[in-house]
Amino acid sequence: MNIPNDTPTLRLRPAQEKVLEYESGKMAISAVPGSGKTFILSLLATRLIADGRINSAAGQQILVVTFLNTSVDTFRVRIRKRLTELELPDTGYDVRTLHSLSLEIVRSAGETPGDELAVLDELQSRQSLDGAVDGWINDNTRLWEAFLPESNREHSPQMIARWRDITASTAASFIRAAKNSRQTPDAILAAIRKQSEKAEFSDDEPNVARSPLMQMMAGIYSRYQFSLSRQGGLDYDDLIWRAADLLEHRPDLVMSLRARWPFVLEDESQDSVPLQEALLDQLTGSDGNWVRVGDPNQAITSTFTAAHPRFFSRFIDRPDVVARTLPNSGRSAQLIIGAANAMLNWTIDSHPIPEVRRDAFRRQDILPTPPGDAQPNPPDSEAEMRIRVFRQREDEEWPEVARLAVEYTHQHPHHTIAILVPTHQAGYAIAQHLDALKANYDNLLRGSGREREVAAALHAVLAVLANPLDTKALQAAYNGVAELHESGPFCESPQMESDDRPRFQALLRSVFRPESLLFPRGDETLIELLPAGVASEDDIIRLERLSEFLRQSFELRELPIDDLTLTLADALFIPPATKSTEGETSHELDLAIAYQIASQLRQWREAQPDWRLPELVAQLQSVATGKRVLNIIRDDSGYEPKPGRISLATQHSGKGLEWDAVFLTGIDGLWIPGSLEAPFLGVHDFLGGDPSAEATAQLSYLMHNDAGIYPDRTATESAHIEVICERLRLLYVGITRARRYLQISRSRSTRRQNREREAEPATVMSILYLYLQGRATDEPATD
């Protein structure tokens, strides 16, 4: 059954028609932002089914591999809808994430029963890693502290805590690199021993085997894998690794799976990691049918995952691969498309760093849709682009961006609006300004203000239960639950003016025998615990309610930590008398956050069986203060922007979404460095460079005799080049989220650790200035 391209419900662009000419073999599709790659990949799957390229009756399927679970649902809906329109049965396709595919391969191999295979999620894996890091540090304290300058080893607890976090993030990068090159801890330790023995007789080559950093990373990796094996589990990289190994060593398994999935269509290929590429290459074979769709110019995960756009670019350029493009996009006005193209071409042609010129982007301009297209570009008459420069970030840029976004919602209530920030910390600050403006907005940040407030309230009460003698914990407990005044346990307490709060805090500090609030002695009254004549009648009522709440909570102390946390949450987050008409109530959201916190506490306890309540409380404090971000499960992956409502998100999480108006903030030289001499996040002066880059380079040299870095560059310089490339791609992604209105802002200075610091402009911003000047309109483009 051949489906003609002039099917009444479809009007395809010439580039889309070329893609649908595919019949077999390997094909790469480089798709610009907004070009409809999900649409065309779904249509290709449907066409292959309709054309009889598979035998559905024999159980054959088109396999679609995508990144997110929500993308799985999107593909299924689109393919099912198209098959229904063609009056074909809803069969012949299988849509999976990479992890789901790997799990299916392992189960199909028959070596491990499906119900006995435990796959740890990211949160569980992180707990195992934390345990491995802490265990190695405890057993090798002197070696670990030797990385620090002498002056910081005993006199700076902050530096010690910072080095511990750096150790954990470096270990995560090292383990990820090791697994994607399929190197076990035993193999690495054996290579270290072999090179150490060889070095005794030769000084001609670098000896990374004696590097303290390599020894530490290999030791942590070994402990981490032991922790996973003790739990009988695999992390995500292990799962993909095992599936790839099975395909490599089980020809019978490969043949059966190729018969089941004769065509493989891969989405988001620019974010493919080496293990993923190896697995799909084994699954399809040298003469198999493999279609890969992605955009190397939107690869924005290479600095914190094993993914890199070079993998997909190499596939595109292979001689056995047919290369196609989807260059047309109807998302943005041509004014905005032109800005994205200008910064892309300048980077390729003129960026001052040669490696950035070569690797940041693949040359591919975004083209508007042709006349008569079903998705015409918004007209430039309705479009606007502005670049704003502020004197100071925290005091001017952030509050003004919040105000301008709110003002835009009032002027254009039918438009969707986003504020895209470079970091979560910047987002938290802007959220406070939006709150002050009573803005209607969706907070898509991980570790949002409300999550920290819930964590702080639970931490405050748990801290008192862990140490009833601590008057500071007592004050924090009152603060935590008092913040929930309208719906919490103190909802009937006398109202307290804001300027009266410090006086009541001083009163709590003066409590004699604070443990008596939980364990009163005989007929002892609360007023006897306070200095004479300082407490008002309202103070006594507040104290009585606090004492009653803490006594009831203390009786629950022997419950498992997750049950204790959830029981406290039920008491703290009482349903309001009236419910919100806009989706989830705040009460429901608070309980959902509390549930995730309870799960996190349980996992900490399971990872560290010796920990009791005081240790768990100490861990939770880092969440309450925002120093650690929990992986709170929120349904943002299927998020749809709403007209008249601001979306607050990071630039990373904005990918895959689009808005009528986008406000990009913090685009300066601190975020997008213009040279290798500029300051970089991740560089630690006391370590002499980027430890993650050094560790992965040493691993590559140890195992492959090649450090995997740019020629004539250090590992840290190579990592910095990757940062610049990815930040430029992030800017490209941010620009191409906007349909009609785009504002890019920066500040001349920013405040760090209570000190003002000059913020140089990002070099690429001058190109955008020149672009706007060349498109000068009657309205000023810059302020």
How would DSSP label each residue in 93-118? EEEEEHHHHHHHHHHHTTSS-GGG-E
Buried b (16+ CB within 10 A) or exposed e, 611-641: bebeebbebbbbbbebeeebebebebeebeb
Q: Name the helix (H) or strand (E) containing 637.
A: none
- Phi and psi, residue 756, nearest 5°: -75, 135
- Among 718, 579, 768, 738, residue whose Cα is nearest residue 661: 738
d(CA 168, CA 303): 16
Chunked in runs of 10, what are the mean pLDDT values of the chain (783 residues)?
48 94 96 94 96 92 88 90 93 93 90 66 83 91 82 60 86 94 94 78 60 92 94 90 94 95 95 91 95 94 82 94 97 97 97 96 96 94 96 96 97 97 90 93 75 81 79 67 51 52 68 66 67 72 77 81 86 59 55 78 69 82 66 56 94 92 95 88 65 88 86 90 94 97 96 84 94 73 48
pLDDT computed for residue 587 by the predictor: 65
pLDDT computed for residue 514 by the predictor: 66
Helical spans, DSSP H, in 360-470: 398-411, 424-436, 449-466
The sign of the torsion formed by the CA atoms of 138, 143, 149, 154 equals positive
Tokens of 454: 């819930």
Residue at 734: amino acid letter: G
133: three-class secondary structure by DSSP: helix
d(CA 654, CA 107): 35
Burial group, residue 294, by CB count within 10 angstroms (0-12, 13-18, 19+):
buried
Residues 6+ apart with CB under 8 A from 106: 112, 117, 239, 242, 243, 246
d(CA 249, CA 258): 15
- Among 725, 734, 740, residue whose Cα is nearest residue 654: 734
Residues 6+ apart with CB under 8 A from 353: 675, 676, 721, 724
- Among 208, 256, 234, residue whose Cα is nearest residue 99: 234
How, if at all, do strands 749-752 and 755-758 pair? antiparallel
* Contact assessment for residue 763 and residue 353, using Cβ atoms and an 8 Å cutoff: no
d(CA 294, CA 312): 8
Number of H helices, E strands in the chain: 27, 16
- Among 392, 395, 556, 364, residue whose Cα is nearest residue 461: 556
d(CA 765, CA 187): 47
- Phi and psi, residue 668, nearest 5°: -130, -175
d(CA 147, CA 351): 36
Q: Cα angle at 644 between 418 and 337, to 5 degrees?
A: 45
Tokens of 213: 């950093």
Q: Cα angle at 604 between 601 and 609, to 5 degrees?
A: 120
Residue at 339: amino acid letter: A
- Among 726, 698, 637, 632, residue whose Cα is nearest residue 206: 698
Q: Cα angle at 97 between 312 and 64, to 5 degrees?
A: 70
Cα dihedral: 188, 193, 198, 203 (round 10) = 80
pLDDT computed for residue 94 by the predictor: 95
Buried b (16+ CB within 10 A) or exposed e, 698-732: bbbbbbeeebebbeeebbbbbbbbbbbbbbbbbbb
d(CA 456, CA 621): 7
d(CA 225, CA 642): 44
Q: Report how far apart, in Å, the C-alpha atoms of 129 and of each of 83, 126, 319, 684 are.
A: 46, 5, 42, 22
DSSP-assigned beta bridge partners for residue 443: 648
Tokens of 655: 């990918």
Q: Name the helix (H) or strand (E) containing 779.
A: none
The full DSSP string for 288-353 is: SEEEEEE-GGG---TTTSS--HHHHHHHHT-TTEEEEEE-B--SS-HHHHHHHHHHHHHHHHH-SS
* Contact assessment for residue 477 and residue 461, using Cβ atoms and an 8 Å cutoff: yes
DSSP-assigned beta bridge partners for residue 743: 386, 663
The number of residues making up the chain comes to: 783
- Among 753, 414, 459, residue whose Cα is nearest residue 623: 459
pLDDT computed for residue 186 by the predictor: 95
392: three-class secondary structure by DSSP: coil
Instruction: Give residue 564's region: left, alpha or beta (phi > 0; psi -120 to 50).
Output: alpha
- Among 656, 638, 659, 635, residue whose Cα is nearest residue 647: 659
CA 179 to chain centre: 20
DSSP-assigned beta bridge partners for residue 291: 27, 265
Residue recorded with tokens 């609030």: 517
42: three-class secondary structure by DSSP: helix
DSSP-assigned beta bridge partners for residue 27: 291, 322
Q: What is the DSSP letter of 71?
A: H
d(CA 189, CA 211): 13
